[in-house]
């Protein structure tokens, strides 16, 4: 198993981050989530996800497919 720390960037400050988190949770199991202020009202969603040791590409693709997501950044991945 792998613990993956992700930063999800919305495509605008107007994106409802709670709805975005709920939409992501429909696709992947989120262990922890926090909002992080960036600048000018823009916030990122920091996620902790635990997945099988298969790489992060599939998880990134699922999140990027959700409306309102501009980018997904893998901050770290650690074997459990």
Number of structural domains, the chain?
A: 1
Question: pLDDT, tens digit, for every residue of 20-78?
Answer: 999 999 999 999 999 999 888 889 999 999 988 778 999 999 999 999 999 999 999 99
Q: Measured at the alpha carbon of residue 3, what is the angle toward residues 25 and 65, in degrees to the nearest 5?
A: 35
What's the whole-number mean pLDDT along residues 8-27? 94
What CATH number is attached to the domain comprising 12? 3.30.70.60
Structural domain boundaries enclosing 75: 2-79
Rounded distance between C-alpha atoms, residue 31 and residue 5, angstroms: 10
User: Could you identify the residue written with the tokens 């902790």?
Assistant: 48
């Amino acid at each position: 198993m792998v613990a993956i720390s992700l930063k999800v960037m919305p495509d605008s400050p107007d994106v409802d981050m709670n709805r975005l988190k709920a939409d992501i949770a429909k696709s992947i199991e989120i262990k922890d989530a926090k909002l992080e202020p960036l600048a000018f009202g823009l916030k990122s969603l920091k996620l902790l996800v635990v997945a099988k040791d298969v790489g992060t590409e599939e998880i990134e693709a699922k999140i990027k497919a959700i409306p309102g997501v501009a980018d997904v950044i893998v901050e770290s991945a650690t074997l459990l």
